[in-house]
A and B are shown apart, each in its own frame.
Chain A
Amino acid sequence: MSTQVTSTAAVERPKAEFAEPPQPYWKLVLRRFMKHRMAVFGSITLFLLVFMSFVGPFLSPYSFDGIDLPNSNQQWPSMAHWLGTDELGRDILTRLMYAGRISLSVGLSVAFLGVVIGTIVGGLAGYFGKWVDNAGMRLTDVFLSIPILMLLMVMMKFLGKELFIIVLILGATSWMGVARLVRGEFLSLRNQEFIEASHAQGASSIWIMLRHMLPNALAPIFVAATLGVADAIMLESALSFLGFGIQPPTPSWGNMLTDAQQYMISTPWLAFYPGLLIFLTVASINFVGDGLRDALDPKLKR
């Protein structure tokens, strides 16, 4: 996988140059992305989900914790409550939209945090090599050895369950993949001539890493970040479902599923919605990530 990643566009250009005028890199990427049908489909679904979560709550007449006991456990969707109400008479659709806002924000922040930590650890390890590499990779091994769900459950239990802490903990335990990836990229870039040239010109290590190496490793990092969002949403939902993540009354798709599980016999369909939304979100992001991989680096095409 980590053969030298020189400018990814260079691979395609020679043959494109004769056929049509050279195009900017992003146009090429976009065109390749549009060819991936599932990725396009995923982007549309994702856009709808984001719209629903961030704009939807403003359009809803209900709040996510508005209790309405006379209308609790409405059997069927109605004009007033499109997807019905839960055991406390809270509007299901509104809660799903709020939950989506939280899940998506957590997913994005965690992936961002994970990528930043992973890039730093992997970048330093790959650039400096020797004992820095050794230390960085052993640290990665330690984090990879401890079963992640167990580790997260214990940390959540001990450190609290506020949103901010959940993001920090998830971010602090989801950087290992990116670290290995960036290390590999940096290792292969390190010995290339343009880096040597930069050294010869007296460039500092930080400059070389940020100006020359990082941009060349961006494509796979970007793909990993996208897939990281999906993983983070899945982990957060799992933790919330088990009761160690986002705490009621704040809705999350995971804890809504826990609620629904208690009313599995009387209103089994309540368990259907939150899971379907997690699935749609994670699947769309995975498809987009796959499309990005093909579009950004055709050599990686599986």
Chain B
Amino acid sequence: MGAYVIRRLLGAIPLLIVITAVVFSLMQLAPGGPLAVYGENPHLTAEDLEAIKVAMGLDKPPVIQYLYWLKEVIQLNFGHSLFTGRAVLEMIGERIPATLLLMTVAMSFSLLVGVILGVISAIKQYSKFDFSVTTLAFIGYSLPPFWFGIVLMIVFASTLQWLPAGGFADYGQEGNPLNVLSHLILPAAMLSILQIASWSRYTRSSMLEVIRQEYIRTARAKGLDEWSVIVKHGLRNGLIPVVTVVALSLPSLFAGAIMTETIFTWPGVGRLFFDALTKSDYPVLMAILTISASLVVIGNLLADMIYALLDPRIRLS
């Protein structure tokens, strides 16, 4: 196991370096270069711009700039926002709680519902229930999430006026859990529909495979009741692939859901990314892109390791 972990960790390092290079090159495509924002300021003369350029090291060749940037990034310094002048990490940091709250609520709810639906579907394969869940999952997959969000907003916020249309909490109510909860319901519902669809499919196919195994037949043959067979013997093995897929979706806990956060003006990292892109705030963009991509790599590693941990057959082969 130890050698396996070390091999995977070493394999991730070049991947991370390439990702930072891709993010850095992406920013080189910005029209007008990184200083275009300053160009709009009438108080800055051409000499001033030149001075900023030299001060920021932008007169050096891109490769050197990249190495400078990489050196800082490794030390977790992502620089300062072009607009607020504040440290980028600090700006991201204060958005993380909102994103984390939204994503954990949506994810745990949809996992619970999705796994239950998937297990029942698998046990009763080809039944009416299975057929309905399958059809609903297909619909969930095909539903444009942004449209679903807007429909939710129209129905529950603007027409019925049961729930607020956006934001994290009413002014001055940020500490009131009930108020936050009322703002949380619609965006969480929007996120859940797609996730329930995919968790139910994963669980169903994984459970179907498990149910056909010989140890399930053995469990039945030794006279266990159906509940123990399904939950203790079936689900514990059937959930292994699901757990790894959960690990794979952990990075989204950080970046959140850009669309959801944009539609419901949820003050999370996704919304910060959207705003930073609209304003061309490059340091913020680069930080969010780099961190999210790195988390994906780490999530992949974690998923593989969890899989190896839970299923000894992987480790041994």
Report A's interface with B, CB cutoff 8 A.
Answer: 38, 138, 141-142, 144-147, 149-151, 153-155, 157-159, 230, 234, 237-238, 241-242, 244, 254, 257, 260-261, 264-265, 268, 271-272, 274-276, 278-279, 282-283, 286-287, 290, 302
Known: A275-B147, A275-B150. A287 touches B19 (CB 8 A): no
Instruction: Please indicate the chain A residues that have their CB under 8 angstroms from the CB of B262 in the complex.
Output: 242
| Cα separation A271 to B146 with both chains bound (whole Å) | 11
Distance between B125 CB and nearest chain A CB, rounded to angstroms = 10
Report B's interface with A, CB cutoff 8 A.
Answer: 14-15, 18-19, 22-23, 26, 29-31, 135, 138-139, 141-148, 150-151, 153-154, 158-159, 205, 251, 255, 258-259, 262, 273-274, 277, 280, 285, 288-289, 292-293, 296-297, 300
Instruction: Please indicate the chain B residues that have their CB under 8 angstroms from the CB of A154 in the complex.
Output: 26, 277, 285, 289
Distance between B29 CB and nearest chain A CB, rounded to angstroms = 4
Contact, CB under 8 Å: A268 / B277: no
Which of B30, B147, B293, B297 is most buried by chain A, counting CB atoms within 10 A of its CB? B147
Contact, CB under 8 Å: A157 / B293: no
Contact, CB under 8 Å: B150 / A138: no
| Cα separation A302 to B259 with both chains bound (whole Å) | 31
Q: Among the listed B29, B146, B153, which residue makes an inter-chain contact with A264, where contact means beta carbons less than 8 Å apart?
A: B153
Contact, CB under 8 Å: A287 / B296: no
Q: Among the listed B18, B30, B251, B274, which residue makes an inter-chain contact with A142, where contact means beta carbons less than 8 Å apart?
A: B18
Shortest Cβ distance from A253 into B: residue: B144
Contact, CB under 8 Å: B151 / A275: yes
Distance between B275 CB and nearest chain A CB, rounded to angstroms = 12
Instruction: Please indicate the chain B residues that have their CB under 8 angstroms from the CB of A290 in the complex.
Output: 138
Instruction: Please indicate the chain A residues that have their CB under 8 angstroms from the CB of B159 in the complex.
Output: 268
Shortest Cβ distance from A260 into B: residue: B150
Q: Among the listed B138, B144, B158, which residue makes an inter-chain contact with A268, where contact means beta carbons less than 8 Å apart?
A: B158
Distance between A286 CB and nearest chain B CB, rounded to angstroms = 5
Contact, CB under 8 Å: A271 / B144: no
Contact, CB under 8 Å: A275 / B153: no
Instruction: Please indicate the chain B residues that have their CB under 8 angstroms from the CB of A151 in the complex.
Output: 26, 289
Contact, CB under 8 Å: A279 / B288: no
| Cα separation A290 to B14 with both chains bound (whole Å) | 37
Contact, CB under 8 Å: B258 / A146: no
| Cα separation A238 to B144 with both chains bound (whole Å) | 8
| Cα separation A265 to B289 with both chains bound (whole Å) | 35
Instruction: Please indicate the chain A residues that have their CB under 8 angstroms from the CB of B31 in the complex.
Output: 158
Which of A234, A244, A254, A276 is most buried by chain B, counting CB atoms within 10 A of its CB? A234
Instruction: Please indicate the chain B residues that have their CB under 8 angstroms from the CB of A286 in the complex.
Output: 138, 141-142
Contact, CB under 8 Å: B146 / A241: yes
Q: Among the listed B19, B142, B145, which residue makes an inter-chain contact with A146, where contact means beta carbons less than 8 Å apart?
A: B19
Contact, CB under 8 Å: A147 / B296: yes
Distance between B210 CB and nearest chain A CB, rounded to angstroms = 15
Distance between B27 CB and nearest chain A CB, rounded to angstroms = 8
Contact, CB under 8 Å: B259 / A238: yes
| Cα separation A268 to B160 with both chains bound (whole Å) | 13
Contact, CB under 8 Å: A242 / B274: yes
Instruction: Please indicate the chain B residues that have their CB under 8 angstroms from the CB of A153 in the complex.
Output: 258, 273-274, 277
Instruction: Please indicate the chain A residues that have their CB under 8 angstroms from the CB of B146 in the complex.
Output: 237-238, 241-242, 254, 257, 275
Distance between B129 CB and nearest chain A CB, rounded to angstroms = 17
| Cα separation A278 to B148 with both chains bound (whole Å) | 11
| Cα separation A240 to B291 with both chains bound (whole Å) | 25
Known: A138-B14, A147-B293, A238-B259. A275 touches B19 (CB 8 A): no
Instruction: Please indicate the chain B residues that have their CB under 8 angstroms from the CB of A149 in the complex.
Output: 258-259
Distance between A299 CB and nearest chain B CB, rounded to angstroms = 15
Known: A146-B293, A242-B259, A268-B158. A279 touches B151 (CB 8 A): no
Q: A150-B288, A158-B29, A234-B144 are in contact. List 20 more A-B contacts (CB 8 A).
A: A142-B22, A145-B15, A145-B297, A145-B300, A146-B23, A146-B292, A146-B293, A147-B251, A147-B255, A147-B293, A150-B289, A158-B26, A158-B30, A237-B146, A238-B145, A264-B154, A264-B158, A271-B154, A275-B146, A278-B147
Known: A159-B29, A271-B151. A150 touches B255 (CB 8 A): yes
